[in-house]
Chain A
Amino acid sequence: MPGEIYFKTLAQLQEALASKSISSVELTRDHLDRIQAVDGRIQAFNSWDEEDCLRQAEASDERRAAGRIKGPLDGIPVGVKDVIAVRDQPLTCSSRMLEHFVSPYDATVISRLKNAGAVLLGRLNMDEFAMGSSTENSAIKITFNPWDTSRVAGGSSGGSAAAVAAGELPVSLGSDTGGSIRQPASFCGVVGLKPTYGLVSRFGLVAFASSLDQIGPLTRTVGDAGRMLQVIAGHDPRDSTSIDTSPPDYSEGLAEKKGPWKLGVPQEYFAEGLDPEVKAAIEAAIDWYADRGCEIVEISLPHMHLAISVYYIIATAEASSNLARYDGVRYTHRSDRAGDVVDLYFKSRAEGFGEEVKRRIILGTYVLSSGYYDAYYLRAQKIRSLIRQDFTKAFAKVDGLLTPTSPFVSFKAGEKTRDPLAMYLSDIYTISANLAGIPGISLPCGFNSQGLPIGLQILGEPMEEANLLAIAHSFERAHDFTDRHPNPAPPD
């Protein structure tokens, strides 16, 4: 097929496979070559198994030749954030704690990808245990931004975003606890979707903050995000928070004649700290929606300024509890220095966890500890209710909210690592969606004067992904931002 294969969309590749103008083996081989060529510079992958990938691709080609394809992703290479279990593949969470762990079973999203015929291509780098906003907290490597390799890819799903942006993969899966899909998508100039809490099963996703975590796709286009969501969404009896309903047809929202919508602009998202070039790009996007007949309504989310505090109390509390399972006994790193079994816990955890994970375990343990529980954790849960009410009130008036995804574009590696609070504050526009459980999408809406991508975030009502995709798609098809690609230089 004409043009560079690396930057084709999922839709184009599905068509090429269906028309037999390319085989899955060729497609997979091309992507493996691309990884070989650029990943030394990007460092998006923690691991991949070339032979296994080609075996999966061969099996797909045989199915297609026999007229027995399994589903919409048959033969398509998909990358997976290194926090989701794929049977017989490593699962490190980019942590020394799980350095040698191999998954004994598949996550539900992986079973769904396999049932759809996907070629599971490799494991993508992330901040350790998904804690971070730059992928600099990985114990394995830093992932760099394909648009400027002195800058970060964002996080925590930095590998998932950078691999798609650099043409190493057409689509990937990430996870989003406070913006970990949307922010790296924004930094790398790709599309990232965080679904409604409970729409996608968390079974087989290593838990960080269970009431906030959600798996979602990173793709080149909004339509591709809908195609991936169609495969991974749906009820799972093995996740007790899974919503018991059948997902709608997400491709319907991509029909030409949708809208105009009533769209809200939350004034709190445009306060101090917002980079002027990001602000200008978002305002231009808002103007575009207004010009095509959408009613733009100024909205107030009065508890927004509390979201960071609420989030870092709830997320660290849940993390301190979830990460108690890494005790050095059953399936993790075990210290050689330990005297007795209690000492084994202390030393294995000291050796296995990196600095940010330790910091969050300490903070989470503190806010849950006797005498402080009511003042921090319980109070945060109450304010979480108020934050959700703010959104419920907003969505009574509008169909979606338009905001920046991040207050700034990708920053230089090392720039924010010394000040954890400053790093936490960078999640300001994404975390409230996790607290409220609502879906959010980030899509490219421009580039700054240095050529770095800027992301537009659209937030929607719970379970209204089809509508969210339609709003995002209408903007995307009228612009050419998703047609631009970085050209990461080969390693020196």
Chain B
Amino acid sequence: MRDPHSFDIDYVAHLARLELTSQERERFSAQLGDILQHFAQLDEVDVSSVEPMAHAFPVENVFREDKSEPGLSPERALENTPRKRKNMVQVPKVVEG
């Protein structure tokens, strides 16, 4: 199922919402092919009875009391926004019409 030669750079770049130049496409395809070949060493390990490890220390869900706490004001939160109007983030048109 795993064939490094099947690496479809355009498909993956689309998933990642990343526009690549043709040079980047070519370079990344070759480099990632090498890296995926290196990853193939993991196939040699028998992991049938091993639990996956998501975190260094197993932590249970951490909850806090459901009450509001002071946060950033809208003005403060939007200080770094490239384009805004009346405390709202402005973006290009989403829907035609």
Chain A residues close to B by CB (< 8 Å)? 100-102, 104-105, 196-198, 211, 237, 240-241, 243, 303, 305-306, 308-310, 312-313, 320, 324, 327-334, 338-347, 349-350, 353, 355, 358-359, 361-363, 365-366, 369, 371-372, 375-376, 378-386, 388, 420-421, 424, 435-438, 462
Chain A interface main SS type: helix
CB of B90, distance to nearest CB on chain A (Å)? 9
- The answer to whether B82 touches A341 (Cβ under 8 A) is no
Q: A346-B19, A358-B20 are in contact. Are A382 and B53 (CB under 8 A)?
A: yes
Partner of B28, one of A345, A346, A359: A359
Partner of B82, one of A306, A334, A372: A334
Q: How far is the CA of A366 from the CA of B31 in the complex (A)?
A: 14
CB of B80, distance to nearest CB on chain A (Å)? 4
List chain B residues, Cβ under 8 A from A334: 82-83
Chain B 35-66: CB-based contact to A (< 8 A → 1; otherwise 0): 10011011001010011111111010010100
27 contacts across the A-B interface (CB closer than 8 A): A104-B79, A104-B80, A211-B55, A211-B56, A240-B59, A241-B57, A303-B45, A306-B42, A310-B42, A313-B42, A340-B93, A341-B93, A343-B92, A344-B91, A345-B17, A346-B17, A350-B20, A358-B24, A359-B31, A362-B9, A363-B35, A366-B7, A378-B52, A380-B42, A386-B47, A436-B56, A437-B57
List chain A residues, Cβ under 8 A from B13: 362
Query: Is B81 part of the binding interface, using a Cβ–Cβ cutoff of 8 Å?
Result: yes
List chain B residues, Cβ under 8 A from A378: 52
Chain B residues close to A by CB (< 8 Å)? 1-2, 7, 9, 12-13, 15-21, 24, 28, 31-32, 34-35, 38-39, 41-42, 45, 47, 50-57, 59, 62, 64, 72, 76-77, 79-83, 89, 91-94
CB of B58, distance to nearest CB on chain A (Å)? 10
Q: A341-B91, A369-B12 are in contact. Are A313 and B39 (CB under 8 A)?
A: yes
Known: A331-B80, A359-B32. 4 other contacts (CB 8 A): A198-B59, A308-B38, A361-B18, A365-B15
List chain B residues, Cβ under 8 A from A386: 45, 47, 50
Partner of A340, one of B47, B77, B94: B94
Chain B residue at minimum C-beta to C-beta distance from A197: B56
- The answer to whether A420 touches B81 (Cβ under 8 A) is no
List chain B residues, Cβ under 8 A from A331: 80-82
Q: A309-B42, A349-B17, A462-B57 are in contact. Are A362 and B28 (CB under 8 A)?
A: yes
- The answer to whether B32 touches A338 (Cβ under 8 A) is no
Q: A306-B45, A328-B82 are in contact. Are A382 and B56 (CB under 8 A)?
A: no
Q: How far is the CA of A237 from the CA of B83 in the complex (A)?
A: 33
Q: How far is the CA of A324 from the CA of B17 in the complex (A)?
A: 9
CB of B95, distance to nearest CB on chain A (Å)? 9
Partner of A376, one of B15, B39, B54: B39
- The answer to whether A102 touches B57 (Cβ under 8 A) is no
List chain A residues, Cβ under 8 A from B55: 197, 211, 241, 437
List chain B residues, Cβ under 8 A from A303: 45
List chain A residues, Cβ under 8 A from B38: 308-309, 421
Partner of A327, one of B17, B52, B56: B17
- The answer to whether A305 touches B41 (Cβ under 8 A) is yes
Q: A384-B53, A386-B45 are in contact. Are A365 and B93 (CB under 8 A)?
A: no
CB of B2, distance to nearest CB on chain A (Å)? 5
Q: How far is the CA of A340 from the CA of B92 in the complex (A)?
A: 5
List chain B residues, Cβ under 8 A from A359: 28, 31-32
CB of B48, distance to nearest CB on chain A (Å)? 9
